[in-house]
Structure 1
Amino acid sequence: MLEIFVIAYCVYFFFTIYTSFMQIGYVHKARTLRPIILENEKYIEAANYSIEKERLSIVSSFYNFLLFIFWIGFGLSILDSLISVESYWLKAIVYVDLFIIINWLLGLPFDLYSTFKLDKKYGFSNMTPALFVKDTIKSGILFLVFGSAVIGGISWIITNLQTWWIWGFVFIFAVIILINMLYPVIRDKMFDKFEPLKDKELEEKINTLLSEVGFKSSGVFSVDASKRDNRLNAYFGGLGSTKRVVLFDTLVEKLTHNELLAVLGHELGHFKNGDILKNIGIMGAVMFVFFAIFGNLSEAIFLGLSLQNEPYAIITLFLIFSPILSFFLMPLISLISRHNEYAADEFGSNLQSKEDLVNALLKLANENKSFPLSHPLYIFFYYSHPPLVERFKELGYDVNEESEEALKDSIFNK
């Protein structure tokens, strides 16, 4: 069975590399054609950014493949030999924590390059070395405290319960729900500065909008996201009594009131259409399948890796292989998500106006340098949102299709 997992990883690696090369070639051609949606300068800049990100992704994929070979070949067994702890739950905590920390350290150069080189080059990142270190220390503390507690909890379940994978799923699913509830509170206390909106007129308009659709929140807040990044964004954070509307200060600065209300109207469309509960249900179903697989692994897998069939090994294999399984489920999940986005666009445009939503999306695309065209295969695997071109067409925005049609011809008539 270990061979099956290794083959699956190789297929996953091939597809990630192949789709990245297809995307680079597609965007490279699109860059030379007449700009659509974005302003001319932003169009070229967005294309260049997309290409550079994809090139970095290719290098990262090769690097991760080498790490995979290292861990599967001998790394896991070496780490096991270095840890002499009798307690099953303590060994799981030490082993898994070290595995995650080592991977984080080995991947740190890519994070640093992306944050301090690539994103700064294109005017996104405002991150300073001091803030990066500060964020890293806080994240590390959260991981060591709460992550270790979760590892210890799942280790106890694996050791003491017969059908541990069912109860393990219930435990982890409950933890994820709890994290979603506490996320805005944790961000507020440890990372971001949440403040009530200073623009009281905008706050009143937002509260009126929320009342129209029956969305109850604990408040509308602005967050100082610009200290890290210049991208525009907004989200509804938390669950139950912790729900709150969070607006990036960059978004409040760049969008008019009506445009901002249209963006929130789109998000409220997800709420009204039950997409949040649907997503939780899909996530739960996928996670249940994963637990069913890793809860019934063959003894031969552990023997092949020179590991014991114990919590530390099961959890580590879950961390290594679950992203691969997720990749093959992505097309279906992305397809559902894109359908939901169209419905949310329709709801948001009806709640405010199509013109306001289109204007907001245009500003978001230009400010975030989101290139409007992508290779169909890349969209199939990675796009949780419909391409900008398709979203604008659905909203009745007059998109120049010349570039898009020329690219289709170049793909299908080779």
Structure 2
Amino acid sequence: MITVTDNTSTAVDSPESRRYNSIKRWLGVSDFGLGLLLLVVLLATGWSGTLRDLALRGASSNYSLAVFLYVLLLMVISRVLGFPLDYYSFRLEHRYHLSNQKLRSWLWDEFKGILVGLVFATIIVELLYLLIRHVQHWWLAAWALFLGLFVLLAQLAPVVLFPIFYKFEPMENEELRRRLVLLSERAGTRVRGVYKWKLSEKSKKANAALTGLGATRRIILADTLLDHYSDDEIEAVLAHELGHHVHRHIFKSILVQAGITLAGFYLVNEVLRYAVERGNMFETMADFANLPLLVLVVTVLSFLLMPALNAYSRFNERQADRYCFQSVASVAPFISSMNKLADQNLAEKTPSRWVEWFFHSHPAIAKRVATAEAWAKAH
């Protein structure tokens, strides 16, 4: 999806934009820190074992049911502790006039998110401990299984997950639809439809995406984009998204994630083995009370890799931008769309170098706009 972290050549961020983005970052850091603290406390105090025992008693020692109850208890604790930050984030969007969502609608989305999260977490954890119990090199089997689940989820998300939270309908602007489909065909990808995403029911921000794989491949355009942007600007936005397809960024990203996931599962296996054999923290690796340790290892690894992964993502975004420049008649609509998105989404146009380096998966818009202007002068 489009992520705006942009500047224009002469852009200066407003104090409002600076404050909003600073608060958003601190909310993210606080949420990460709270999750990390919860995992450490569960392990250090032995409370994870207590929760396991409660789950086993509640399930009459049925292992699979106990795993489900344990996951449920962890999710309830996590969501209760994180609710103040979630609610503050909801209020923040209203304070800066970026949200149209009512409290009841937000609470309903939170509830649906908990249910969806519980379903996925239960499936993943049940499969994981099934492999740990019955497969010698469980981490290799888990890697292959999770890679398949990742691809399946990418395919099903537009038709199964997104509609749980948002409404979609076929786009009515036939001329724009024709232009976008033609642009997609020139990029060598077939889309199964162009859809209007009713984002305005919840947000004043604009967004667009080329989502799905194979039969679920589709273009989704927020109504907040369709209502305020010209056809040329929307075409430029999609051309950027198609650049990811042309450069095979999805396939390459899957390969990168596959490598990281393989290393992650191997590391988890070694840490769990140490915790059982030398740390005397758990009786066996199949003791699901070690789940917080597993999640802790994955969380720390993800944190350490975040700057490198963001750098790789920014490289991909620059490639997609260059494809956009080559695909449209003029880069002017790209420049205007970037500036309008930054203003509409209250994006930080000139983030500090360290903020961009650590937090941003997209180059600052000032750099993107400057690159577009340089392209226009050279061509």
TM-score after normalising by structure 2:
0.88
For residue 343 of structure 2, the aligned residue among 360, 366, 389 is 366
Q: Report deviation, 1:65.
A: 5.0
For residue 231 of structure 2, the aligned residue among 257, 266, 284 is 257
CA distance in structure 1 between the aligned counterparts of 2:82 and 2:235, rounded to whole angstroms: 39
CA separation of 1:332 and 1:143: change in aligned 2, threshold 3 A: closer
CA separation of 1:396 and 1:304: change in aligned 2, threshold 3 A: farther
Aligned to 2:15: 44
CA separation of 1:133 and 1:241: change in aligned 2, threshold 3 A: same
For residue 216 of structure 2, the aligned residue among 216, 219, 242 is 242
Amino acid at match of 1:355: A
Q: Alpha-carbon deviations, 1:311-364, whole Å to 9, x = none? A: 524543222331210111122211211111111111112111211111110111
CA contact (8 A) 2:314 2:361 kept: yes
CA contact (8 A) 1:77 1:307 kept: no
CA distance in structure 2 between the aligned counterparts of 1:313 and 1:173, rounded to whole angstroms: 25
CA separation of 1:55 and 1:295: change in aligned 2, threshold 3 A: closer
Aligned to 1:29: none
Aligned to 2:326: 350
Q: Specify the SS of the correspondent of 2:88.
A: helix
CA contact (8 A) 1:265 1:348 kept: yes
Aligned to 2:160: 186
For residue 76 of structure 2, the aligned residue among 101, 123, 147 is 101
Q: Alpha-carbon deviations, 1:355-379, whole Å to 9, x = none? A: 1111110111111111112222222
CA contact (8 A) 1:349 1:356 kept: no
1:81 aligns with 2:57: no
Q: Specify the SS of the correspondent of 1:358.
A: helix
1:206 aligns with 2:177: no
Amino acid at match of 1:281: L
Aligned to 2:190: 216
Q: Report deviation, 1:57.
A: 4.1
1:155-166 alignment runs, 5 A limit: 155-166=129-140
Aligned to 1:401: none
Amino acid at match of 2:355: Y
Q: Report deviation, 1:139.
A: 2.6
Gaps of 5+ in 1: 1-35, 399-414
Q: Report deviation, 1:158.
A: 1.4
CA distance in structure 1 between the aligned counterparts of 2:283 and 2:106, rounded to whole angstroms: 36
Q: Report deviation, 1:228.
A: 1.4
Q: Report deviation, 1:125.
A: 1.8
Q: Report deviation, 1:253.
A: 1.2
For residue 263 of structure 2, the aligned residue among 272, 289, 294 is 289
CA distance in structure 2 between the aligned counterparts of 1:387 and 1:284, rounded to whole angstroms: 28
CA distance in structure 2 between the aligned counterparts of 1:42 and 1:373, rounded to whole angstroms: 6
TM-score after normalising by structure 1:
0.81
Q: Alpha-carbon deviations, 1:10-43, whole Å to 9, x = none? A: xxxxxxxxxxxxxxxxxxxxxxxxxx63998972
CA separation of 1:138 and 1:58: change in aligned 2, threshold 3 A: closer
CA separation of 1:55 and 1:102: change in aligned 2, threshold 3 A: same
CA separation of 1:61 and 1:268: change in aligned 2, threshold 3 A: closer
For residue 310 of structure 1, the aligned residue among 263, 270, 286 is 286
Q: Report deviation, 1:241.
A: 0.6
CA distance in structure 2 between the aligned counterparts of 1:324 and 1:125, rounded to whole angstroms: 32
Aligned to 1:320: 296
CA distance in structure 2 between the aligned counterparts of 1:294 and 1:318, rounded to whole angstroms: 6
Aligned to 1:72: 43
CA contact (8 A) 1:88 1:310 kept: no
CA distance in structure 2 between the aligned counterparts of 1:347 and 1:119, rounded to whole angstroms: 33
Amino acid at match of 2:210: F
Q: How many residues align?
A: 363
1:117-196 alignment runs, 5 A limit: 117-187=91-161, 189-196=163-170
CA separation of 1:40 and 1:337: change in aligned 2, threshold 3 A: closer
Amino acid at match of 2:316: N
Amino acid at match of 2:165: F
Amino acid at match of 2:363: P
CA distance in structure 2 between the aligned counterparts of 1:60 and 1:315, rounded to whole angstroms: 19
1:341 aligns with 2:317: yes
Q: Report deviation, 1:91.
A: 2.5
Q: Alpha-carbon deviations, 1:117-166, whole Å to 9, x = none? A: 21101111222222123223333333333432332222211111111110
CA distance in structure 2 between the aligned counterparts of 1:271 and 1:80, rounded to whole angstroms: 45
Greater relative contact order (CA < 8 Å, ≥ 6 in sequence): 2
CA contact (8 A) 2:48 2:290 kept: no
Q: Which moved more, 1:49-58 or 1:168-177?
A: 49-58
Q: Alpha-carbon deviations, 1:164-214, whole Å to 9, x = none? A: 110011111111111111101114542221111111111111111112112
Q: Alpha-carbon deviations, 1:222-252, whole Å to 9, x = none? A: 1111111111110111111111101111111
Amino acid at match of 1:83: A
